[in-house]
Amino acid sequence: MQARMGNPAVVVPDAMQALQALATIPAKSGLSPILLELVNMRASQINGCSVCIDGHPRIAKKAGETDERLFAVSAWRDTPYFTPAERAALALTEAVTRISDRADPVPDGIWDEATRHFDGKSLAALVIAIANINVWNRLNIATRQIAGEWKP
């Protein structure tokens, strides 16, 4: 396997700087690093980004996440391993990632459940985190980046 080109964020250093700066916002808002990695994993699973599917569990493990929960992210609705706040974040992640799958991409029920668990600032930061991982997924997928080359 060979990538079509280097990752655009590496090819255009200002892009990397901007994306890395954007990535600091959710963590600075007080969102749990593990929650952010669960979000990164779920969006990456939906999008089929092999680079992120390979890398984000490594980051989550370093943050203290268990294998049991990592293995269950794709089936989070059917497992007992996630808190109500994590479930709300994962549902929001799926809705924001799959925006073209339904007429109302982020239904009020999903949004309202997220507002029960996250205040305005943390919810805004969560939406930024979801948007940012989707950008990374699209950069990696479009240029066929190779899983395993990024070792976080």
Domain layout of the chain by residue ranges = 31-143
CATH topology of domain 31-143: AhpD-like (1.20.1290)
Average pLDDT, the chain: 96
**d(C-alpha 149, C-alpha 117), whole Å:** 36
Q: Which residues of 101-138 are buried (b: 16+ CB within 10 A; e: fewer)?
A: eeeeebeeebbebbeebbeeebbebbbbbbebbbebbe
User: Which has the minimum average pLDDT: 79-83, 126-130, 145-149?
Assistant: 145-149
Who contacts 54 (Cβ-Cβ below 8 Å, separation ≥6)? 147, 148, 150
**pTM for this entry:** 0.96
Whether residue 86 is predicted with pLDDT greater than 90 in this model: the reply is yes
**Digit-coded pLDDT (tens) for 30-71:** 999 999 999 999 999 999 999 999 999 999 999 999 999 999
From 29, 28, 63, select the one nearest 152 (Cα to Cα).
63
Residue 112 Cα distances to 27, 31, 36, angstroms:
22, 18, 19
